[in-house]
Amino acid sequence: MGAMSASDTKNQIRRVLFIWGVLTLLYFFITWVLMQFATHTTQERIFAALSTTVTYSIIAVSLGQNVMRQIDATNRALQASIARQRETEAKLRQELAERQRTEETLRRINAELDALNVTTLGLINRLNPEELLKEIVGKAAALMNTPHGFLYVVEPEQQELVLRVGIGRYAQHIGHRLQRGQGMPGTVWKTGEPMVLDDYSQWSKRQPGFEWARAQVCLPLRSDLEIVGVIGLVYLEPERRFGKEEVELLGRLGQLASLARENARLYDETRTELKERQRAEQRLKETLKEIERAQTKAHAILDAATDSMMLLAPDQTILSVNRSFCEHFFGNDPREVVGHQLADYQAELQRVFDQPRAFQDLIDHTIADPAQSLVQIIVQRAPSHRELQLFSTPVRTRSDEHLGRLYVFHDVTKEREVDRMKSEIVSMVSHELRTPLTSIKGYVDLLQAGEVGDLAEEQRKFLDIVKTSTDRLVELINELLDLSRIEAGRVELKCKALDLAPVIHQVANTMHPQIRAKQQQLTLDLPPDLPPVWGDPDRVIQILTNFVSNAHKYTPAGGSITLTARGAGDQVRVDVTDTGIGLSKEDQAQLFSKFFRAENRATQGVMGTGLGLAITRSLIEMHGGAVWVESEPDKGSTFSFSLPLAPGAIEQETPIP
Ligand code: ADP
């Protein structure tokens, strides 16, 4: 507009100057015509007027030119100003567009943040995970301006994808299933990579029933490294596309969806665990009540018993004692004793038992043994003299866990007194029987030797029977005498430092013919550095012979017997193991008592008195050792005994010839 008016002004000025020029020329012409007819004075005046006019004309022209120049300058300035203005205007327009773009981005970021925020809050507040997944898909769809979206989750058992959340056109397909590699979600599950299609309806692997979909984006949902689902959005309008930004945004929301699924899984797991724990707690409470009831009952029964009882843990912690135990041994309340170590009552044990060391040894030997039962006589000296039959057996829980050992102290003072009296009588009668038996045996020998004439075949047969029976009677009487002498305390040991290896070899040699006759195998396992024991050689031979003879008798033909000796602390332990008929638990509990013979078919055919083990045990105990057995019917037995080491570095005696 400004430029237009400037050129107009210039044109007008030009027009004025032109008219001015024409008028001046006309004026000059009129003046020239007048000059022809005018007087000199008039001419002079005309001339003066003319010169004035010329002067004015020149002034007017120069003024006009000046004005024109000024107008040009103004015009140029004006144009420059317009150009600047245009530039500013363009800049402003650019800034405006940029601001609009920024505003749009901000609006979008805001919506995105809002979606992330809502989802995160949902996660924190443990919104129903299914609802949260639905919310995530809804938000993602809203951000991308589409109403159609879905979320498939992996079902590990079936190895399938199942449509768990569907909005828009996908709502009607909830529950739809896809195999690995099938359709777009199945492909994403297989490859683990995001996937974008500009037109799903043209895709070769499109799924029937979903051909209405155009642009589609799918992303894997991961938990740790594993794919747990696939999230996707869809446009139905052919012209719309998913760009890089959309994929990134969906990726962010997808991460939240993964978290939501992971949360849901952890939540379910924790809930199941909690329920399981509550159930276990309840069960525990019930069990505890049951235990309490059982304990009360057990205590009542135990306290009513006259025998003294003690239950010891393998580390010798006292687990339980009854009233009788405390009354007879410690003189205090059972509740004070429980939980203490047996060693805490050393002073009491020293005071109460006749041989406290042997008692402690017996406990030390047996406590960790989860199998063997044991019966042994111990003597109490205070507060009154009593002879006690100590029965010990391992105790197991219902779940077969080794709890410890029960020690039962049964007062056998009176029985033992009667026994001793019986022994005296037996000893006397045996002694009286032995003299006539010896003469019968002598005469039978004479008859068999043919000293009084030849014998008929039948006579010889009868004499053989008389001899066998007499031998059995002599053996029985000898054993009876032996036992009664031991029980009456009339046997004295002649102990010395004794090297066991030669003694064992001697016993093995003596037994060898019988063992070979039964096709049995005898193996000796003796270390070269076996320390000497403190023992009576004759009695140690008797002990070993009894064990090896029993192993031979109660092991079928072709079986094997192993004799092992080892140093164990301040003792030497000897094991006689056989592969024989074995013994039941009940029989084991009665072993070592007089005249006991196990009632099985295998024993019935074997000659025996049932006195051997009773004598053997007494002899071992007299040495300060212990004896025990481990056995299983039809598998075999191990009879073990221990003897104390010879004190100090005693010169080894030459073994008995
Ligand atoms: P005897 O052998 O004279 O019968 P013992 O006192 O030596 O008497 O043994 C008592 C019982 O113990 C035997 O009758 C037998 O039933 C059982 N017994 C002893 N040793 C064994 C063994 N090694 N294997 C199986 N049972 C045995």
Determine if ligand 1 sits within 6 Å of the CB of residue 591.
yes
pLDDT under 70: residue ranges of the chain: 1-6, 119, 121-129, 601-604, 648-657
HSE (side-chain half, CA atoms, 13 Å) at 590? 12
Atom of ligand 1 nearest to the CA of 555: 24
Token pair for residue 163? 């449509």
Q: Is the CB of 222 under 6 A from ligand 1?
A: no
C-alpha 447: how far from chain center: 82
Nearest to 285 by CA among 33, 347, 293, 629: 293
CA of 120 from ligand 1 middle (Å) equals 82
First to last CA, the chain: 152
580 lines ligand 1 (CB under 6 A): yes
* Closest approach atom of ligand 1 to CA 591: 12
Write the residue with the smallest CA distance to atom 12 of ligand 1.
597
Rounded distance from Cα 432 to ligand 1 centre (Å): 28
584 CA distance to ligand 1 middle (Å): 12
b/e per residue 110-142 (b: at least 16 CB within 10 A):
eebeebbebbeebbeeebebeebbbbbbbbbbe
613 lines ligand 1 (CB under 6 A): yes
Which residue has its alpha carbon closest to ligand 1 atom 9? Answer: 610
Ligand 1 centre distance from Cα of residue 642 (Å)? 19
Distance 550 CA to ligand 1 centre (A): 6
HEC sequence for 496-544: EEECHHHHHHHHHHHHHHHHHHCCCEEEEECCCCCCCEEECHHHHHHHH
Residue 123 Cβ < 6 Å to ligand 1: no
629 lines ligand 1 (CB under 6 A): no
Q: Which of 197, 203, 262 is closest to 229 using CA atoms?
A: 262
Per-residue pLDDT at 399: 87
* Residue 396 DSSP SS3: strand
Q: What is the pLDDT of residue 651?
A: 44
Q: Which residue has the tokens 């300035």?
A: 77
- Tell me what pLDDT residue 308 has: 93
Q: Give backbone dihedrals phi and psi of 536, rounded to 5 degrees, phi first.
A: -85, 115
pLDDT for 216-273, tens place per residue? 999 998 877 788 899 999 999 999 998 888 888 888 878 877 777 777 777 778 888 9
Best of 613, 615, 641 for a ligand 1 pocket test (most atoms within 8 Å of beta carbon): 613
Nearest atom within ligand 1 for CA of residue 602: 16
pLDDT for position 1: 43
597 lines ligand 1 (CB under 6 A): yes
Per-residue pLDDT at 289: 92
Distance (Å) from CA 364 to ligand 1 centroid? 26
pLDDT for the residue numbered 126: 56
Closest CA to 140 of 160, 162, 114, 174: 114
Task: State yes or no: cis peptide before 527, omega within 30 of 0.
Answer: no
Is the CB of residue 135 below 6 angstroms from any atom belonging to ligand 1? no
pLDDT digits (tens, 9 = 90+) for 578-634: 999 999 999 998 999 888 988 876 666 787 888 999 999 999 999 999 999 999 999
Residue identified by tokens 């525990």 is 284
From 475, 548, 550, 641, mutation site for ligand 1 pocket: most ligand atoms within 8 A of C-beta = 550
* AA letter at 469: S
Ligand 1 touching residue 596 (CB < 6 A): yes
| Cα 511 to ligand 1 centroid, rounded to whole Å | 17
Choosing from 471, 479, 597 the residue with most ligand 1 atoms within 8 A of its CB, the one to mutate for a pocket test is 597
253 lines ligand 1 (CB under 6 A): no
**pLDDT for the residue numbered 655:** 40
What 3-state DSSP class applies to 341?
strand
Ligand 1 mean position, distance from CA 613 (Å): 7
